[in-house]
Amino acid sequence: MSCEVLALTEELINRQSVTPEDAGCQQLMAEYLAPLGFDIESMVFDDTTNMWARKGASGPVFCFAGHTDVVPSGPAEKWTFPPFTATQHEGQLYGRGAADMKGSLAAMLVATKAFVTKHPEHTGSIAFLITSDEEGPFINGTTRVIDTLEARNEKMTWCLVGEPSSTTLIGDVVKNGRRGSLTGDITVKGVQGHVAYPHLAKNPIHLSAPAFAELVQTHWDNGNASFPPTSFQVSNINSGTGAGNVIPGDLSACFNFRFSTEVTDKQLIERVTSILDKYDFDYHIGWTFNGQPFLTDSGKLVEATQGAIKDVTGRETELSTAGGTSDGRFIAPTGAQVIELGPVNATIHKIDENVNIKDLAELAKIYEGILQRLLA
């Protein structure tokens, strides 16, 4: 198992699948799954390649979900080893996507083969939902596949997303939910003028600064046992002409909410609008809704995952909803129980991304253990 997981991870890393390119990764996965009895369905939407693979026609349905795309490597010369050439060094495997999340994909494949070989007549179905746009705009990937599956009433019972959830040791943290995400893009209109004649201009920076200060200081909610309080962060502010003696004519800014189940996106929009309107300036705001919060706080999937981790590693796992968003936000609304479990996330999206080679084999054993507990 160890050698096979490593070899598959290396082969996937060597394919330069920067969003939304798949670079043949899904074809490799399909060729691995087809002999195991999986029906392979390729779903291509615009620039994005997706794969839905399923073995079995009855429920319950266990689905491995993940993505073949990776973020850009950045300057290749800053890497110790070439980012798209998988390299083993001192027990680690280096390469873009090693941890996020080609190692998980390889572990899923090997775990599935091991399980199906031992249990060819297993109960229910095993499925794979794989996309090439998770790191990108998430328009034509998992969300489109879910729309297709929903239209034909094809449901998942349990879904394991292979995102790198572990913090220090494999399996020490499992994500059993995620916060919601809402982005606002605002343009504030002023009047450009000379700094020596401010009465003839309207400075959009000055006009909007008190409103931004109030937004930053606002307490949105208290969170709850599963989620921290809602967070508001300004991520970009742009204004000015580049000259020190010109009052700018407009300002643009971007901010984001990561919100708990204690508040809705509609309530956040209403509260932001109310604050902005208090300060009587001309603005336009556009909203991008990135996903609702979701939570799988208990159930067979959580129990099977905790038990499999304990069996393989001997350690207890922590359930957490911290971190960014994942494609789990598109799957959970269908009614599926969703968790995220993958490698240590210390180097994801970084120069010299890497994964512990022994962790890959342990991850495959954990995945197999979850299948064993749910479908054997």
Q: Domain holding 24: CATH number?
A: 3.40.630.10
What pLDDT is stored for residue 323 in this prediction? 83
* Contact present, 41 and 52 (Cβ < 8 Å): yes
Q: Residue 260: pLDDT band by 50, 70, 90 thresholds?
A: very high
Q: Residue 5: pLDDT band by 50, 70, 90 thresholds?
A: very high
Q: Is 100 marked within a binding site? A: yes
Q: Residue 90: pLDDT band by 50, 70, 90 thresholds?
A: very high
Together in a domain, 300 and 216: no
The residue that leads in pLDDT, 311 or 136, is 311
Q: Is 194 marked within a binding site? A: no
* Contact present, 100 and 164 (Cβ < 8 Å): yes
Domain that holds residue 79: 1-178+293-375
Together in a domain, 269 and 307: no
Sort strands 337-340 and 158-161 into parallel, antiparallel or unpaired.
Answer: parallel
Q: Is 199 marked within a binding site? A: no
* Contact present, 347 and 289 (Cβ < 8 Å): no
What pLDDT digit, counting tens, does each position of 154-192 carry?
999 999 999 999 999 999 999 999 999 999 999 999 999
Peptide bond into 35 cis (omega under 30): no
Together in a domain, 277 and 313: no
For the whole model, what pTM was predicted?
0.89
Q: Percent of the chain scored above 90 by pLDDT?
A: 96
What pLDDT is stored for residue 277 in this prediction? 97
Q: How far is CA 202 from the centre of its chain?
A: 41
What pLDDT is stored for residue 49 in this prediction? 97
- The two counts, helices (H) then strands (E), for the chain are 9, 19
What pLDDT is stored for residue 10 in this prediction? 98
What pLDDT is stored for residue 324 in this prediction? 81
Q: Which of 260, 291, 322 is the last residue of a domain?
A: 291
pLDDT at 1 exceeding the cut of 80: no
What pLDDT is stored for residue 366 in this prediction? 98
First to last CA, the chain: 20
What pLDDT digit, counting tens, does each position of 277-335 carry?
999 999 999 999 988 899 999 999 999 999 999 999 999 999 999 888 889 999 999 99
Give the DSSP letter of residue 237. Answer: E
pLDDT at 2 exceeding the cut of 80: no
What pLDDT digit, counting tens, does each position of 26-82 carry?
999 999 999 999 999 999 999 999 999 999 999 999 999 999 999 999 999 999 999
Q: Is 368 marked within a binding site? A: no
Closest C-alpha among 299, 211, 295 to residue 255: 211
Together in a domain, 338 and 249: no
Provide the CB-side half-sphere exposure for 232 (13 A, CA): 17
Element (H, E) at 322: none
Q: How far is CA 53 from the centre of its chain?
A: 20
Q: Residue 200 is part of a domain; what is its CATH number?
A: 3.30.70.360
Together in a domain, 229 and 185: yes
Q: Is 349 marked within a binding site? A: yes
Mean pLDDT on 192-196: 97
Together in a domain, 198 and 163: no
What pLDDT digit, counting tens, does each position of 141-158 carry?
999 999 999 999 999 999
Together in a domain, 205 and 323: no
Could you give the number of structural domains in the chain? 2
Q: Residue 137: pLDDT band by 50, 70, 90 thresholds?
A: confident
Ranges of beta strands (E only) in 176-314 are 177-178, 180-189, 193-194, 231-239, 246-247, 250-259, 282-291, 294-295
What pLDDT is stored for residue 45 in this prediction? 96
Element (H, E) at 206: helix 204-217
Active centre residues (catalytic) = 69, 134
Together in a domain, 117 and 248: no
